[in-house]
Every structure is written in structure tokens, then in C-alpha cells.
Amino acid sequence: MKQAFCKFIYHTLLGWKAEVHVPDYDKYIICAAPHTSNWDLFIGKLFYGAIGRETGFMMKKDWFFWPLGPIFRWMGGIAVDRGKRTSLVDQVIKIAKESDKFHLAITPEGTRKANPHWKKGFYHIAMGAGIPILLVGIDYTKKTITIGKEIRPCGDIDKDMREIKLFYKDFKGKHPENFSIGKID
């Protein structure tokens, strides 16, 4: 029922397409980019529902006010206080290791503005939990979301981040001027 509802909205009403080239493992981190609009969350959740998968997501705690807070939590949202230095990565690793199923979407830019210096928490979580990273690209020009690649972190963060960023070089966010993979050597 939920999948049919999401398919109807995502494909029929909104006219978006889905490309899935990676299996649905029990545990993984979703690296989702480009993130240039608040609409990315809703389009992404509809996409995941339409393909019959579930995922949680991390979001700035400022968005968890009434009435949005309960809705975001219901959708799988985890409020993150970026002003506090906490061991969030360690906490998420622990949760991932203790869970039978664990799917968490993280936007590496950490903002909807152009940021060539991507956050690496998603990488450290995957590395620490021993789980893959699925690269999910959002392309507003083609109205397509693609799960196009799987990365198994090897511990060489510079090498892996280069590969991850290169995957996203051709995707166009809702506001393309707000997306940057930075300089890639």
C-alpha cells in the first residue's frame, strides 16, 4: 500500500524516474547528493518508498519544531545538533552494529549551499560499522534519482572520497549553482 502510494506520487504525479543498480542490503549508509533544496528530502523519501525501501535521515535539529518535528521523526528523521561537539559518529556506529537493519541517508555537503569541503561523518560511520556506502544521485534536469554505485570504505579516505565525489560530477540539483564537488586531482 505505502509503496503503491509513493509510486503513484513519485512516478505518475511528479513524473520522476528511478534507476537502481545496487542491491538492498540489510545495512548501509546512503550518501545522497546534490542537496540544493528542501524538496530533496521529500523527493528522496518518495523515491525510496516507490522502490520499496526504507531509510532514516539526519537533519539539523532546528527543523524539528512543532508541527514539523513529529512528522520528521515519523519519516525517520534524526535531529542533529551541529553546535555541540558530540560523539555522534560513534553513537551512530553503535546503533548500526546493534541493528538487524540499518539504512541512513546523509547529505555530505552538510548544507544546501555550494560546499566543496564535504563532511566525512558518513564515511566514518560506514567504516566503523563495516557497512557499504550507497551513492544516490538526484538529477532535477532528468527528473531521476539513481542508486548508482556502492563503495566499501578501504580506510584510504582521500582515495574513497575522490571516487565518491567523481560519481556526482554530472548530477544537477534543483539549484545547480549551489552544488560543488570541489577540486578533484
Q: What is the pLDDT of residues 54-79, one digit of tens each?
A: 887 776 677 667 887 777 677 666 66
Q: What is the pLDDT of residues 11-29, one digit of tens each?
A: 999 999 999 999 999 999 9
Residue 56 host element (H or E): strand 56-60
Q: What angle do CA 49, 33, 157 make, to 5 degrees?
A: 120
Q: What is the pLDDT of residues 80-125, one digit of tens each?
A: 666 666 687 888 888 889 889 989 999 998 777 888 889 999 999 9
Judged on CB neighbours under 10 Å (0-12, 13-18, 19+), 119 is: middle
Residue 63 is classified by DSSP as G
pLDDT of residue 86: 67
Axis-axis angle for helices 121-129, 157-167 (nearest 10): 120
Enter the pTM of the model: 0.87
